[in-house]
Amino acid sequence: MVNPFRPISISLSPNVQSDDVKLAFSLLFQRVRPSENSEGLTLQTEFAKYLGAKHAYAFNSGRSALMAILAAMELENGSEVLLQAFTCNAAVNPIRWAGLEPVFVDCDQNYNLSAEDLKKKITEKSRVVMVQHTFGLPADMDEIVEICRRNNLILIEDCAHSLGAEYCGRKVGTFGQAAFFSFGRDKMISCVYGGIAVTNDERLGQKIAAYQEKIGYPTKDWTRQQLWHPVLMDKIILPSYSILGKHLLVLFQWFHVLSKAIHWKEKRGLAPDYFPKRLPDKLAVLALNQFKKLEKFNEHRRKIAELYYNKLKGGDCILPARPSGRKAVYLRFAIRRDCAAKMIKKAWRKNLLLGDWYRTPVDPFDTLPETMGYKKGSCPNAEAFAGKIINLPTHINIGESEARKILTFIKQCK
Ligand SMILES: Cc1ncc(COP(=O)(O)O)c(C=O)c1O
């Protein structure tokens, strides 16, 4: 029977299934010796094998993984890192925390780094290009790799959205000197907070390993917060969401029973004390359980994306392009339409929780742009898209009937 209070939601534990909930609950009451790291090591080995990378190092977030990569590169203070606007402050802050300067490049029509604008933004101080495969749509890697090669720039791939995506038959995360992935709550696979850094470079690998060893683990309380997330979401918050659950979520976060995806400090450019840290073993167990299901998840995402394509084409929404040779994984199915914000609000009132990544060039919307180094007017596409973007869910808990409800809403909403 359909529960009328349970939302159709893009967020709020999107990938979690009953086995993940049971696992998280059992982990809450299991003892693990602090020195134990067997699950973390297994995750690293399995991940490296999957990607065909030589080294993988697990951290408590993509943010920590990026911090490790940048520290291992030992770049001169003030060196410039080129990255696209239309991103999250979580991609920008680690650059600033490393003493480096983010330089924003505009995005192309598919929300990825524009190779044209990249060429214009390279300066004497440029050292790194960070390419983001936004929403799981692979960026134009031939062009970007060539620009990096010609300008002697290091390439880092931000694969927070794109685990499993391919470009010309090759997995994203294998094109640069290093890459990182996220296992955050809204990502391709989730352990609420988690991430991994990968590289084929022996020396860089050794330095990332040393960094990982040095930073240690987050506190047990912090880990417990993450383990409660799937349990409370599934059993209490989501089943009563439209009446009680949404208020409970705020209360649980207020009293630190649950964590927030982004700490308020990050919106002001500051680092919370749980970054950078390694991935606790208990979260590695959750990540491994999700990792086993990755192919199934991605197949599902593609099927739902295909349904959206077929039903929305020819209408008044701008759909993602599908360049040949790119296998997308559609973390979110992004469309553009006038009055997007109004439409998302209307949908929320109907308990359809659609997404708004990214409402501002450096999201979330209440991030202080001056602390990110973003200059208004520097990335016109990103600014224009931010006003029109709507994300539709593709995750495993969105069946065809939920997707059709969303489609009906979009078609009827004027
Ligand atoms: C584009 C992008 N890069 C990097 C990150 C950082 O990943 P994490 O949340 O695991 O720190 C995120 C997630 O918030 C992201 O959306």
Say if ligand 1 is within 6 A of residue 182 CB: yes
Instruction: Give the predicted TM-score (pTM) of the model.
Output: 0.97
Say if ligand 1 is within 6 A of residue 62 CB: yes
The alpha carbon of 87 and the centre of ligand 1 are apart by a number of angstroms equal to 9
- pLDDT for residue 35: 64
Say if ligand 1 is within 6 A of residue 198 CB: no
- pLDDT for residue 5: 94
- pLDDT for residue 37: 81
Say if ligand 1 is within 6 A of residue 332 CB: no
Which domains occur in the chain, in start order?
Answer: 38-215 (3.40.640.10), 294-412 (3.90.1150.10)
Note whether 61 and 194 are within 8 A (CB).
yes
- pLDDT for residue 31: 82
Asked if omega into 7 is within 30° of 0 (cis), the reply is no
DSSP output for 238-261: GGGIIIIIHHHHHHHHHTTSS--S
User: Could you give the dihedral angle defined by the CA atoms of residues 34, 24, 241 and 412, in that order, rounded to the nearest 10 degrees?
Assistant: 110
CB atoms within 10 A of CB 313: 9
pLDDT tens across the length of the chain (414 residues): 788 899 999 999 999 999 999 999 999 999 876 667 899 999 999 999 999 999 999 999 999 999 999 999 999 999 999 999 999 999 999 999 999 999 999 999 999 999 999 999 999 999 999 999 999 999 999 999 999 999 999 999 999 999 999 999 999 999 999 999 999 999 999 999 999 999 999 999 999 999 999 999 999 999 999 999 999 999 999 999 999 999 999 999 999 999 999 999 999 999 999 999 999 999 999 999 999 999 999 999 999 999 999 999 999 999 999 999 999 999 999 999 999 999 999 999 999 999 999 999 999 999 998 899 999 999 999 999 999 999 999 999 999 999 999 999 999 987
**Test site for ligand 1: of 66, 67, 84, 88, most ligand atoms within 8 A of the Cβ:** 88
- pLDDT for residue 188: 98
- pLDDT for residue 33: 67
- pLDDT for residue 2: 82
The alpha carbon of 195 and the centre of ligand 1 are apart by a number of angstroms equal to 9
Q: How far apart are CA 195 and CA 275, in angstroms?
A: 12
The alpha carbon of 161 and the centre of ligand 1 are apart by a number of angstroms equal to 8
CB atoms within 10 A of CB 41: 13
